Amino acid sequence: MNLRHFINGEFCDPASASWLDNMEPATGKVYAKVAAGNEIDVARAVEAAQAAFPAWADTPINDRARIMERIADGIERRREEFARAESIDNGKPLSLARRVDIPRAEDNFRFFARAITQWHSEAYDMGSRGFNYVLRRPLGVVGLISPWNLPLYLFTWKIAPAIAAGNTAVAKPSEITPMTGYLLGEVLQEAGLPAGVLNIVQGTGPSVGEAIVTHPQVKAISFTGSTKVGRRIAEVTAGDFKKLSLEMGGKNASIIFDDAHYDKALQGTLRAGFTNQGQICLCGSRVLVQDTIYDRFVADLAEGVRKLRIGDPLEEGTDIGAIVSQMQWEKDLAYIELARQEGGKVICGGAKAPAPNARCADGWFLQPTIITGLGPQCRVNQEEIFGPVVTVQSFTDEADAIAKANATPYGLSATLWTNDLTRTHRVAAALETGIVWVNSWMVRDLRTPFGGVKQSGIGREGGFEALQFFTEPKNVYVDLG
Ligand code: NAD
């Protein structure tokens, strides 16, 4: 199967006539070919987006919203097909894609279809002198770049607000997980999205991503991915002063105080550590436990991890699927080795996992791993691993917990487990993160601002913040004198 570009409402082959291998992580085998796009494809996509912009920006909001609802309906109708494609592409359990990723992608379109009909801008009455109002107009052509871990969900989380606000877009899914982005093109055709409003260009970051972000007609970039690539995008676009939203890496802490509801904290910490093989930017990869319950908690956490079923992602009952790529698999293993060198103790896991069945004989499977004995400054506690590898440290009191939680360059999210009301508010305020969950993990109200601080991000996505990002405010003063 060849995964082609979707440009100007049509599927097309890459200008280079070259194709990249698309691997299935569970089998380690090529299962499709993906277009190796380049700057020629990007230029065509930008041209199509520019041509489509005036009419789309002028399309009544209710009509835009109706088309977006039809896109959501299209994904919903084909939910099983999308979930399977995402599981094969990414290695994640099919049950997770079916339950979380794909329904959330549908919701992204529905949410912003509704949000745009409720959005309004400000007017300021200045009495007999005059009045001021704020026009919020779409930017034009925007560039949208997403990673491999939640392929359709994060892709649509950018697309939906961008087109709802009246922009046209050139979007690039990760070359590691291009399948759902490709299928989305079919849904766009079925839903009647006008040609050129959303163009999907497949290919690698250096050849397609960089061509998108540096194209002079691309006015703003919304990127989700690693801090390294986010920094590169900030550098290459600085001279043009492009509007940027960068959602980047994380090294998130799960903080467990001894007054927390023990079982809920344990189950929540397990889920936060290992869902999607630990490959969610919000995963709690550093567990901090109060010293009074440390030994018991570590033992119970390890027991919970040992019970997780590593399996064929397509089989029911699988908790831990395959690691997304051979490169990521080797990176995870290298960090486990580094942890040992740094003096860490592997409490459970720590090695490749045997293939769960014959189909998966050459797949990239890893035992979910817990490591103790590493201080906050060790590399394993400082650098994002992005796999099923979790460290546990102890802390003495509130101040120590906050200091350890904040001791990384990242600042995406944190999870706090406690039943002390005033402590909750004190610690939530003191954590240097964009998101804090209290006695929960990964609960989202799409209206809230989403994003990180420090090296985890600039800008915020979600709700009206996203619509603001994808529009430019113009201040108009009308004198009545
Ligand atoms: P990545 O940075 O390697 O790639 C992300 C995207 O950027 C891909 O589509 C890639 O092709 C593209 N890209 C690569 N080089 C580029 C360049 N020079 N110019 C433009 N685009 C380029 O990230 P990844 O490995 O796909 O994803 C994992 C990372 O994403 C982790 O660091 C994770 O924390 C982060 N992430 C963050 C969030 C968040 O909301 N903060 C959410 C999910 C994932």
- Both tokens of 74, joined, read 């299209």
Co-location of 17 and 155 in the same domain: yes
The confidence score (pLDDT) of residue 41 equals 99
In a domain, 357, yes or no: yes
Co-location of 288 and 310 in the same domain: yes
Q: Is 140 in the pocket of ligand 1 (CB under 6 A)?
A: no
Residue positions counted in the chain: 481
> Which among 229, 276, 323 is the best mutation to test ligand 1's pocket, defined by most ligand atoms within 8 Å of the CB?
229
Q: Is 52 in the pocket of ligand 1 (CB under 6 A)?
A: no
In a domain, 450, yes or no: no
User: Which 3 state secondary structure label does DSSP give 84?
Assistant: helix
Co-location of 220 and 293 in the same domain: no
Pairing of strands 284-290, 252-256: parallel
> Which among 174, 204, 279 is the best mutation to test ligand 1's pocket, defined by most ligand atoms within 8 Å of the CB?
174
Q: Is 104 in the pocket of ligand 1 (CB under 6 A)?
A: no
Taking alpha carbons only, the member of 120, 106, 116, 123 closest to residue 60 is 116
E strand or H helix that includes residue 414: strand 413-417
Here the CATH number for the domain that contains residue 358 is 3.40.309.10
Co-location of 149 and 235 in the same domain: yes
Q: Is 27 in the pocket of ligand 1 (CB under 6 A)?
A: no
CA of 64 to the centre of ligand 1 (A): 29
Taking alpha carbons only, the member of 125, 149, 120, 147 closest to residue 136 is 120
CA of 452 to the centre of ligand 1 (A): 15
Cβ neighbours for 12, distance < 8 A, ≥ 6 positions apart = 4, 5, 6
In a domain, 13, yes or no: yes
Co-location of 266 and 340 in the same domain: yes
Q: Is 459 in the pocket of ligand 1 (CB under 6 A)?
A: no
The confidence score (pLDDT) of residue 444 equals 86
pTM for this structure? 0.98
Q: Where are the beta strands (DSSP E) in 237-388?
A: 243-247, 252-256, 284-290, 345-348, 369-372
Q: What residues form DSSP beta bridges with 278? A: none
Of all protein residues, the one whose alpha carbon is nearest to atom 15 of ligand 1 is 205
**Per-residue pLDDT tens digits for 444-461:** 899 999 999 999 999 889
Co-location of 188 and 218 in the same domain: yes
Cβ neighbours for 40, distance < 8 A, ≥ 6 positions apart = 15, 16
Contact 411, 432 (CB under 8 A): yes
Which ligand 1 atom is the nearest neighbour of the CA of 225? 30
Co-location of 344 and 415 in the same domain: yes
Q: What residues form DSSP beta bridges with 12? A: 5
Q: Is 158 in the pocket of ligand 1 (CB under 6 A)?
A: no
First to last CA, the chain: 68
CA of 153 to the centre of ligand 1 (A): 14
> Which among 41, 89, 145, 213 is the best mutation to test ligand 1's pocket, defined by most ligand atoms within 8 Å of the CB?
145
Distance separating alpha carbons of residues 327 and 205, to the nearest angstrom: 16
In a domain, 55, yes or no: yes
Pairing of strands 457-458, 243-247: antiparallel
Co-location of 181 and 267 in the same domain: no
Q: Is 205 in the pocket of ligand 1 (CB under 6 A)?
A: yes
User: Which 3 state secondary structure label does DSSP give 47?
Assistant: helix
Co-location of 262 and 244 in the same domain: no
Total structural domains within the chain: 2
Co-location of 368 and 401 in the same domain: yes
In a domain, 14, yes or no: yes
Co-location of 243 and 268 in the same domain: no
Low-confidence ranges of the chain (pLDDT < 50): none
CA of 294 to the centre of ligand 1 (A): 35
User: Which 3 state secondary structure label does DSSP give 408?
Assistant: coil
CA of 41 to the centre of ligand 1 (A): 21
Which ligand 1 atom is the nearest neighbour of the CA of 176? 26
Contact 188, 48 (CB under 8 A): no
In a domain, 405, yes or no: yes
Distance separating alpha carbons of residues 119 and 114, to the nearest angstrom: 9
In a domain, 451, yes or no: no
CA of 147 to the centre of ligand 1 (A): 4
Here the CATH number for the domain that contains residue 177 is 3.40.605.10
Distance separating alpha carbons of residues 310 and 133, to the nearest angstrom: 57
Co-location of 63 and 205 in the same domain: yes
E strand or H helix that includes residue 40: helix 39-57
Distance separating alpha carbons of residues 264 and 474, to the nearest angstrom: 48
Residue 295 sits in which domain range?
253-445
Residues with catalytic roles: 247, 281
In a domain, 85, yes or no: yes
